[in-house]
């Protein structure tokens, strides 16, 4: 009993006095081991990269002779390293540190040195990385590449001459220092850099903290430094003429101050270096920073690009480690500045400045993730102009082209999610921007078709799951999962993707079949299922949208997809067979509607619009196969159905008696029969049998489809629709212009009324004051008379 109490007491005493230290020591040891493992991986990879890009032999020899420790690690295989080779390195490192500094306990910065140096790599997978850099995750080799300052070197020579002599003989690179480097400015930059500096540049962070403690008075002096136009002009001249890095650092510091202008100091943990009080200075520093900084970075850190499209950034160089903080600070300031901008020209300039910086940001994963999110937001925002959308897309395309597999997948997912979220509201004002987004985003899925196939399959499968849930659920509003703008635009977008990258022309250029071609069948099945989910006249506009998507896919890939039955179902519906109600409402715009309002159902206006859509889609559908040798047999069932519908519609008792729709159907039947007769005449002259597949496919291959009877009809109908759409657009713009002018006049009239009322009030006040003064004068006169009496 007594021994148990004694043990319990000893345990509590240990927990109180020693447990935290033991746990901290274990954690620090684990972090050091993890850091060494990551370093070994990178050095193993660097050997491969150097072979690929054929680095200079001199640089390779200097690196081999410079550090014996690095040579030992690089000579060791990864398996040997994981089996315990790193323990010897750690032991030798600890002994060397003890020899230099004497006995001491491991403090907190030592733990920071090895803390989670590879944490950012979890955001993206590291497979097949095209950026052949020596520090993919932010430069964990800073302790080897960073030179010493002159003051630190002199101090070391004075305090420990023996160790200084040892370093000079065995490792002279460790004593290098940069006379031109303004370390105080670098520390200022690191204060405003992304939070990912804690993981990516731990040594620099510790230097920054030490300098902050050592010289707090210097920072206070910089707070009241007013930025002037002369200073900006001087920096610009130095950057243009001498490619000055010192001036570039000052520009980045001033740009960061401009980006955080008018912010509450309580929310800003950092003290800004400059103060800006003039809009002209603000404009000048923005222009200089956005135009000159990317140029000077590319001048001092030129990028090599291989024939396969991979890029090489010299991340192992000392200059990259010096400029990396400036690059991250400049990028973080741009991201922050974008949230405050609304002018299209400024947005274009700001977003465009990010494109040349993309290769340098591949190592900074967290910052890159924030950049992708911000650029996608401006690309997908409905209020953004076409120039802003195109500029944002160019940045995203650059990321996909030079990024690794993980970055590409992240960009594609972010782009698709941005597209879907922006399609929630579709109207006459936003439809052009949505179409621009779909056409531009479709290009990204063809850059890396392996990643494109994976993401496309995932999202198409997601659409199929939504369709299945809407079918299985017995709820009243279950169809709303599918029948909305987002689902419709998603199906249309994937039709754009497959149409662009699975076309015969693209496959001929690539010399192989597209990987995305396997997705045609599942996409068509999902689209046809969504089309027939609710065969109600209310959702005829949605059906027409989906039929157009399939027609685009069928035309581009030369794939037969049966659509005639879906259009015949529309003609056979009750609303198209009955006599319509008269109505004076304006025609429904089918381009920006996926469902018809109740006021349009069973009206003549809606019946006319549906009839026009059916004729247009039938003609476009049969035009795809207008040169096919089997066209007469292909159109025969549809011709029978259409003639039967025309006969039924002309009946006095039960027909719809809509002569406009009937005449359009009759004209379509005539063109189909004329085209069938044309094909019969052409194939009567051939001398091959139907089993000769090559000859059958080559039938009328060089004949222009516009010259066929049906093709000529479709060309004329397209021109008529374009003229009608242009007239409607001009009328809409004119109405919008008149509406804005009326609003402006109403505001001016209200302002005049307000000014007249104010003037009348002033007159009344003046009259009242004069009346009061007259009364006062009369009272004074009465008082004087009373005194006289």
Confidence at 196, pLDDT banded by 50, 70, 90: very low
Q: Quick check: helix, strand or coil at residue 514? A: coil
Question: Burial, 143: exposed, middle or buried (Cβ in 10 Å; 0-12, 13-18, 19+)?
Answer: exposed
315-324: average pLDDT: 88
The pLDDT of residue 310 is 79
> Does 758 have pLDDT greater than 70?
no
The pLDDT of residue 130 is 39
> Does 510 have pLDDT greater than 70?
yes
The pLDDT of residue 171 is 54
> Does 774 have pLDDT greater than 70?
no
The pLDDT of residue 765 is 66
pTM: 0.69
Under 8 Å between Cβ of 490 and 549? no
Mean pLDDT for the chain overall: 79
The pLDDT of residue 13 is 78
330-347: average pLDDT: 93
Q: Return the higher-pLDDT residue of 134 and 31.
A: 31
The pLDDT of residue 83 is 42
- How big is the CA angle at 410 (ends 409 and 411), to the nearest 5 degrees? 95
The pLDDT of residue 754 is 62
Sign, CA dihedral 186-189-191-196, equals negative
Q: What are the distances in angstroms from CA 758 to CA 185, 290, 745, 754?
A: 57, 49, 20, 6
Confidence at 6, pLDDT banded by 50, 70, 90: low
Lowest mean pLDDT among 13-22, 41-50, 111-120, 643-652: 111-120
Delimit the domains of the chain by residue range: 22-115
The pLDDT of residue 150 is 56
The pLDDT of residue 780 is 57
The pLDDT of residue 18 is 80
**C-alpha–C-alpha distance, residues 55 and 646, integer Å:** 77
Where b means 16+ CB within 10 Å and e means fewer, 619-630 reads: bbbbbbbbbbbe
DSSP 653: T
312-340: average pLDDT: 91
Ranked by mean pLDDT, which of 48-62, 216-230, 547-561 comes out on top?
547-561
Under 8 Å between Cβ of 351 and 392? yes
DSSP string covering 65-127, please?
Answer: HH-HHHHHHHHS-HHHIIIIIHHHHHHHHHHHHHHHH-S----HHHHHHTS-TTGGGGGS--T
Q: Any idea which residue has 């008696």 for tokens? A: 657
The pLDDT of residue 91 is 45
Ranked by mean pLDDT, which of 452-461, 502-511, 699-708, 747-756 comes out on top?
452-461
> Does 173 have pLDDT greater than 90?
no
Confidence at 781, pLDDT banded by 50, 70, 90: low
Confidence at 612, pLDDT banded by 50, 70, 90: very high
Confidence at 756, pLDDT banded by 50, 70, 90: low
**C-alpha–C-alpha distance, residues 98 and 291, integer Å:** 50
Under 8 Å between Cβ of 194 and 256? no
SS (H, E, C) 407-476: HHHHHHHHHHHHHHHHCCCCCCCCHHHHHHHHHHHHHHCCCCHHHHHHHHHHHHHHHHHHHHHHHHCCCC
> Does 773 have pLDDT greater than 80?
no
691-717: average pLDDT: 91
> Does 56 have pLDDT greater than 80?
no
462-466: average pLDDT: 96
The pLDDT of residue 418 is 96
**C-alpha–C-alpha distance, residues 597 and 532, integer Å:** 19
pLDDT in tens, 654-683: 888 889 999 999 999 999 999 999 999 999
Where b means 16+ CB within 10 Å and e means fewer, 343-361 reads: eeebbbbbbbbbbbbbbbb
314-336: average pLDDT: 91
> Does 509 have pLDDT greater than 60?
yes
Q: Contacts by 95-101 with C-beta closer than 8 Å and gap 24+?
A: 100/160, 100/163
Q: Any idea which residue has 């985003």 for tokens? A: 441
Overall residue count recorded for the chain in this entry: 789
């Amino acid at each position: 009993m007594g021994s148990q109490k004694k043990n319990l007491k000893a345990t509590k005493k240990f927990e109180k006095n020693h447990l935290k230290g033991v746990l901290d020591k274990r954690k620090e040891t684990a972090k050091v081991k993890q850091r060494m493992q990551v370093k070994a991986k990178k050095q193993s990879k660097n050997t491969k990269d150097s072979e690929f890009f054929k680095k200079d032999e001199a640089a390779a020899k200097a690196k081999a002779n410079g550090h014996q420790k690095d040579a030992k690690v690089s000579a060791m295989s990864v398996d040997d390293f994981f089996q315990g080779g790193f323990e010897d390195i750690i032991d030798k490192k600890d002994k060397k540190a003890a020899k230099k500094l004497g006995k001491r306990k491991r403090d907190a910065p030592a733990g920071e040195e090895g803390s989670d140096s590879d944490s950012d790599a979890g955001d993206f997978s590291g497979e097949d990385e095209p950026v052949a850099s020596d520090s993919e995750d932010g430069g964990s080799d800073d302790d080897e590449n960073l030179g010493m300052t002159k003051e630190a070197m002199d101090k070391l020579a004075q305090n420990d001459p023996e160790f200084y002599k040892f370093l000079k003989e065995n490792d002279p690179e460790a004593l290098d220092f940069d006379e031109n480097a303004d370390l105080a400015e670098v520390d200022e930059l690191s204060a405003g850099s992304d939070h990912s500096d804690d993981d990516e540049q731990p040594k620099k962070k510790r230097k920054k903290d030490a300098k902050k403690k050592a010289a707090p008075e210097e920072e206070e002096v910089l707070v009241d430094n007013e930025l002037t136009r002369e200073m900006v002009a001087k920096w610009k001249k130095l950057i243009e003429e001498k490619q000055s890095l010192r001036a570039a650092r000052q520009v980045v510091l001033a740009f960061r101050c401009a980006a955080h202008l008018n912010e509450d100091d309580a929310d800003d943990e950092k003290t800004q270096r400059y103060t800006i009080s003039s809009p002209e200075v603000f404009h000048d520093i923005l222009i200089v920073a956005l135009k000159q900084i990317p140029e000077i970075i590319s001048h001092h850190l030129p990028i090599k690009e291989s024939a396969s499209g991979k890029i090489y950034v010299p991340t192992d160089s000392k200059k990259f480690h010096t400029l990396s903080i400036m690059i991250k600070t400049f990028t973080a300031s741009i991201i922050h500045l974008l949230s405050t901008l609304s002018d299209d020209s400024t947005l274009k300039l700001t977003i465009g400045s990010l494109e040349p910086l993309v290769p340098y940001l591949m190592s900074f994963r967290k910052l890159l993730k924030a950049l992708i999110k911000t650029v996608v937001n401006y690309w997908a925002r409905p209020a953004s102009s076409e120039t802003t959308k195109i500029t944002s897309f160019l940045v995203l395309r650059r990321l996909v082209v030079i990024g690794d597999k993980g970055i590409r997948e992240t960009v594609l997912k972010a782009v698709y999610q941005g597209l879907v979220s922006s399609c929630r509201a579709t109207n006459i004002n936003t439809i052009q921007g949505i179409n621009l987004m779909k056409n531009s985003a479709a290009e990204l899925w063809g850059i890396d078709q392996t990643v494109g196939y994976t993401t496309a399959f995932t999202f198409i499968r997601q659409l199929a799951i939504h369709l299945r849930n809407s079918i299985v659920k017995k709820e009243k509003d279950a169809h709303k999962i599918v029948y909305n703008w987002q689902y419709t635009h998603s199906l249309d977008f994937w039709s754009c993707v497959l149409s662009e990258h699975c076309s015969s022309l693209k496959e001929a250029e690539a010399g192989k079949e597209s990987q995305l071609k396997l997705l045609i069948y599942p996409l068509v099945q999902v689209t046809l299922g969504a089309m027939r989910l609710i065969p109600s006249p209310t959702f005829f506009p949605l059906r027409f949208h989906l039929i157009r998507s399939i027609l685009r896919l069928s035309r581009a890939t030369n794939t037969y997809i049966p659509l005639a039955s879906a259009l015949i179902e529309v003609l056979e519906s009750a609303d198209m067979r009955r006599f319509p109600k008269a109505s004076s409402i304006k025609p429904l715009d089918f381009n920006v509607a996926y469902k018809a309002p109740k006021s349009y159902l069973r009206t003549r206006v809606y019946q006319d619009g549906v009839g026009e859509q059916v004729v247009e889609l039938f003609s476009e559908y049969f035009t795809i196969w207008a040169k096919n040798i089997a066209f007469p047999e292909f159109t025969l069932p549809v011709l029978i159905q259409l003639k039967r519908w025309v006969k039924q519609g002309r009946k006095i008792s039960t027909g719809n008696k809509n002569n406009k729709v009937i005449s359009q159907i009759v004209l379509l039947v005539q063109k189909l029969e004329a085209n069938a007769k044309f094909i019969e005449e052409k194939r009567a002259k051939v001398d091959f049998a139907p089993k000769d597949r090559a000859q059958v496919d080559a039938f009328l291959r060089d004949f222009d489809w516009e010259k066929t009877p049906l093709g000529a009809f479709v060309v004329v109908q397209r021109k008529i629709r374009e003229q009608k759409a242009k007239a409607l657009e001009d009328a809409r713009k004119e109405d919008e212009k008149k509406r804005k002018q009326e609003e402006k006049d109403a505001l001016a009239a209200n302002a005049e009324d307000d000014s007249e009322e104010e003037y009348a009030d002033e007159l009344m006040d003046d009259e009242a004051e004069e009346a009061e003064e007259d009364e006062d004068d009369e009272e004074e006169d009465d008082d004087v008379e009373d005194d006289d009496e």
